[in-house]
Structure 1
Amino acid sequence: MISSDLQLRSLTTNDLSAILELDQACFGGLWTMDGYQRELDSPNSELLGLFAPLSSIQLLGMGCFWSIVDEAHITILAIHPQYHRQGLGQALLYALLKTAGDRGLERATLEVRASNLAAISLYQKFGFKTAGLRRRYYKDNGEDALILWLSELQHPKFQTTLDNWHTTVSKQLNQFSWQLIN
């Protein structure tokens, strides 16, 4: 079986049309072009994309966090619906947390729909803990959001944890014939 290359890199203005296509496929138009442009222009935002050069879909996934004081507030983790359950979400989450650690951030936080059990499971695999609840957080249906936290990104043991995650993520991707290249 031949593996397909995956490229993980920071998104740029040149990627805006692909970003909007992925946003539409995953969220039905959560953010506008201007919203994504603000993210790309902000020194406090990190917007990463996952590309497969041989795929018919240009951008397979994206993740974003805001750097707020010493915290990475993850605002987006999206994988194109055709590529769910292949380890791509794990690869993106790993990359976001590694980038946050490299930036010197101490912790990561996010909100997730209380009904999104697949996402909650993914975050829990990476050590996130439930810290609270935002009632009626989602405007489209009034659903609650769980607030999840991961702390100690700067603790020495976190580098060991990152190394373990890298191995786990690589094995998961290989099961689906993906290979992450830099």
Structure 2
Amino acid sequence: MSKFKLELKSLTTADLGAVLELDKACFGGLWTMEAYQREIDSPNSILLGLFSPLFPQKLVAMGCFWSILEEAHITILAVHPQYQGQALGQAMLYSLLQTSCECGSERATLEVRVSNQAAISLYQKFGFKVAGRRRRYYKDNDEDALILWLGGLQSPEFQETLHYLHALISDRLNNFSWDLANLR
């Protein structure tokens, strides 16, 4: 069985068209082009994408976090609906956490819709715990957000967990014929 190559890379202005298409497919147009450009331009923002030659726009997943002091605040994690359930979300979250560790982050946090059980399950697999709730956080429908928190990113235990997850995610990607050689 042939493998389909995936490439993880930092997103640039040249990728904005693909980023907006993925945002629209996943979130219905959550962020504008200007907002993504600010993320690309900000020294405190890391915006990563997974690219595949299979997909016409080539961008199949993306993630973003803000590096604020010792905290990584994950702001976006998106997988094109056509490719959900194929471990790409796991690969993207792994890459965000690995990158945040390299940036010196001690902890990670994010908000997620209370109804998004698939995302909550993904985050919990990585060790995120519920730290609170933001009432009526999402303005499109006044849905609450759960605040999720993960500490100890620099600890040897978490580094072992990342190593273990790397192997699991690589195997899972292989099951779907994905080859992500540069999963770091």
| Count of residue pairs brought into register by the alignment | 182
Map 1:89-100; keep pairs closer than 5 Å. Answer: 89-100=89-100
Secondary structure of 2:65's counterpart equals strand
Matches within 5 A, 1:14-93: 14-93=14-93
Q: Any idea what SS the aligned residue of 1:167 has?
A: helix
Distance 2:54 2:118 in 1: 27
* SS of the residue 2:94 aligns to: helix
In structure 2, how many angstroms separate the alpha carbons of the residues matched to 1:159 and 1:118? Answer: 24
Residue deviations 1:139-171 (CA, integer Å, cap 9, x gap): 000000000001000112222111101001101
The answer to whether 1:174 aligns with 2:152 is no
Distance in 2 of aligned mates of 1:57 and 1:119: 24
Q: Any idea what the Cα deviations from partners look like across 1:38-93, whole Å, max 9, x if unmatched?
A: 00000100000000123324210100000111100000000000000000000000
Moved more, 72-81 or 149-158: 149-158
**Number of the residue aligned with 1:112:** 112
RMSD: 0.8
- Scaled by the length of structure 1, the TM-score of the pair is 0.98
SS of the residue 2:6 aligns to: strand
Give CA deviations for 1:91-125 in whole Å, capped at 9, x if unaligned.
00000000000000000000000000000000000
CA distance in 2, matches of 1:121, 1:130: 11
Map of 1:150-165 to 2, 5 A cutoff? Answer: 150-165=150-165
Instruction: Report SS of the residue matched to 2:105.
Output: coil
Flag structure 2 segments of 5+ consecutive residues without an equivalent: none
Amino acid at match of 1:179: D
Greater shift after overlay, 126-135 or 50-59?
A: 50-59
Name the amino acid aligned to 1:132. G
Partner Cα separation in structure 1 for residue 54 and residue 147 of structure 2: 37
Q: Distance in 1 between matches of 2:157 and 2:181?
A: 25
The amino acid of 2:39's aligned partner reads E
| 2:137 counterpart of 1:137 | yes
For the residues of structure 1 that align with 2:49 and 2:60, how far apart are their CA atoms? 8
Provide the rounded CA distance (Å) in 2 between the counterparts of 1:54 and 1:78: 17
SS of 1:130's partner is strand
